[in-house]
A and B are shown apart, each in its own frame.
Chain A
Amino acid sequence: MDNVRAPVIEAKNLKGGYPAHVTWSGVDFSIGRGEFVAVLGPNGSGKTTLFRMLLGLAKPLGGSLEVFGAAPRRGNPRIGYVPQQHPIDSETGIEALQLVRLGLDGNHWGTGFAAQGTEAAMAALKLVGAEELAHWPLGVLSGGELQRVFLAEALVGKPDLLLLDEPLANLDMRRESDFVKLINDVVRSRNITVLLIAHNINPLLPVLDRVIYVANGRVATGTPADVLTSKSLSELYEIPVEVLKDSRGRIAIVGMDEPTDHHHDQRHE
């Protein structure tokens, strides 16, 4: 077991993107055990690039990045991952339980017919409150149901770090906050570190420890109270940006000089 206080992720002067196109650079942050972190920023700003680096699927262009005290490597069993898009076809008749099971041992050779993975998969589905979906075909599940199944698939290997790429994208407002609560309950009870890419910060505000805000080729990190201020975001974007709060503490970020703010672009990607 590693030191409880050792950082789970540590980035120093990290540079990301492709050799021909640096997406962001000069990134420093350290994330500890059990932290709930939102990764925010406009589309194309390189949020998914950061995830791919943590998963060992992309190499840093410069600087250093460590996960659990070592360079990221593909297939690290301590990381659970939910990508932004899953190619689940509506004709897919395979039940949810089988997909969750593959999250446990799908990277092993052989048939695995005799393995005891089914129980672990069922337990993971129960953990996300989706045990009743176990025997439903993936093709008939709704977006919100699929998100819970994917979360179970990521959790079945008992990870210490969870990377969730836009898990709230296809959920309505009510399900959004239910799902955030579910993630929060699970990760707090198991002391799992979460990085969650989102477009809308508001459903996450009650549970967040920290924000990584990626924009304009740079990254700002800190507590929501530090990062999500007019001053901090104006410095990041290098244009005047105003952070507005309503009576219930919800935030709206408004670019002062550009009436067509980045929320417009997000729809199209």
Chain B
Amino acid sequence: MNNGAFNLNIVSDLQFMWQYDFMRHAFEAGTIVAVIAGIIGYFIVVRQSSFAAHALSHIGFAGAAGAVLFGINPIAGLLVFTCGGGIAMASLGRKAAQRDVQIGTVLAFMLGLGVLFISLYSGYATEAYSLLFGEILGISAGDVLFTLIAGIVLLVAVVIVYRPLLFTSLDEDVAEAKGVPIFWLGVIFMLLVAVATSIAVQVVGVLLIFALMVTPAAVAQRLVRRPAQGIAISVAIALAATWIGLFISFYLPYPVSFFITTITFGVYVIVRLVQA
């Protein structure tokens, strides 16, 4: 019988954890988010758009904070702001998505706007904290269902645009000449990032989104040569970090986000050291 303390029988540990709804929901949502972040993250890295993706999550923060203020579901606010920001960035063109100074300026403003919204709301500290750093242990069954639906939509979309998206990401001019609709693929890509960011915020929060969206893909990019393999490794790292992070956090009184970011960072450092 498992009394709740850690023992070496992982299966019985997991069975014990999953008696709690909040742990089951956390594992379910965490798994979906890790798969999606691993896949979308790979394209973010190949397109060199990681800063734009980072900025989207900050834009989303303002939306989520505004939603909290007006008593709406924060995910709705996240989706509206990230999708709006994504479309705006995509219509300025891919070169615009790589302009760090301009993006950084908008990013800081959006974070400031989010701080204002949060301070106007009475539950200041906890809401801000969970948006910024993630609150995976507070995920409801409804959130899990929403995450699952968003995840399936994203997966189907990625399967459809896979080849032309890869083509424009690697060799935009040739792709354009070959008849690939590069503008619309840019918009679709930013929308994919926007939705992925919105669901990932539940797990790691806006400030730590890099750990799930970019770091695993950056490691994968160094390890393998084929996109399909790269995506598989990226997903595997994101999954491992999320599961191990959740597992450890059940026994230790520290935030899950800390464990997830530490694990992906650790993998990144090890791979760089081994390859150096």
Residues of A within 8 A of B (CB): 55, 57, 74-75, 79, 81-83, 85-89, 91-95, 98-99, 102-103, 105-113, 135, 137-138, 153-154
Contacts and interface: CB of A to CB of B under 8 A. Distances in A.
Contacts of A153: 171, 174
A183 B249 CA distance: 61
Contacts of B225: 93-95, 98, 135, 137
B113 interface: no
A110 B162 contact: yes
A105 B173 contact: no
B142 interface: no
Contact of A110 (B160, B170, B179): B160
B167 A106 contact: yes
B173 A107 contact: no
Contacts of B176: 57, 74
Interface stretch (B11-19, B61-69, B226-234): B226-234
4 closest A-B pairs by beta carbon, nearest first, are: A75-B179, A106-B167, A95-B225, A83-B173
Contacts, number: 100
A108 B228 CA distance: 17
B221 A107 contact: no
Contact of B170 (A57, A75, A79, A99): A99
Contact of B178 (A107, A111, A135): A107
A111 B161 CA distance: 8
B130 interface: no
22 contacts: A74-B176, A74-B177, A74-B178, A74-B179, A75-B179, A81-B177, A87-B171, A88-B171, A92-B46, A94-B225, A94-B230, A99-B171, A102-B170, A102-B175, A106-B164, A107-B178, A107-B180, A110-B160, A111-B163, A112-B163, A135-B225, A153-B171
A106 B230 contact: no
Nearest to B98: A87
Interface residues of B, number: 30
Contacts of B222: 93
Interface of B: 46, 48, 159-164, 166-167, 170-180, 221-228, 230
Given A74-B179, A109-B161, A103 B174 contact: yes
Given A81-B178, A108-B164, A112-B163, 16 more contacts: A81-B173, A83-B177, A88-B170, A94-B226, A94-B227, A98-B225, A99-B170, A102-B166, A105-B163, A106-B175, A107-B167, A107-B179, A108-B163, A111-B163, A135-B225, A153-B174
Q: Is the interface of A mostly helix, strand, loop or mixed?
A: loop
A220 to B, nearest CB: 27
A106 B163 CA distance: 5
A153 B167 CA distance: 11
B173 A93 contact: no
B180 A106 contact: yes
A112 B162 contact: yes
Given A106-B167, A111-B159, A57 B227 contact: no
Contact of B173 (A85, A98, A106, A108): A85
Contacts of B178: 74-75, 81, 103, 106-107
Given A98-B227, A111-B159, A106 B166 contact: yes
B48 A89 contact: yes
A38 to B, nearest CB: 20
Given A79-B177, A153-B171, A91 B221 contact: yes
A154 B164 CA distance: 16
Contacts of B166: 102, 106
A99 B178 CA distance: 14
A135 B166 CA distance: 17
Contacts of A92: 46, 170, 221
A89 to B, nearest CB: 6
A109 B159 CA distance: 8
Nearest to A76: B179
A102 B167 contact: yes
B174 A81 contact: yes
Contacts of B162: 110-112
A79 B174 CA distance: 11
Nearest to A136: B225
A262 B28 CA distance: 65
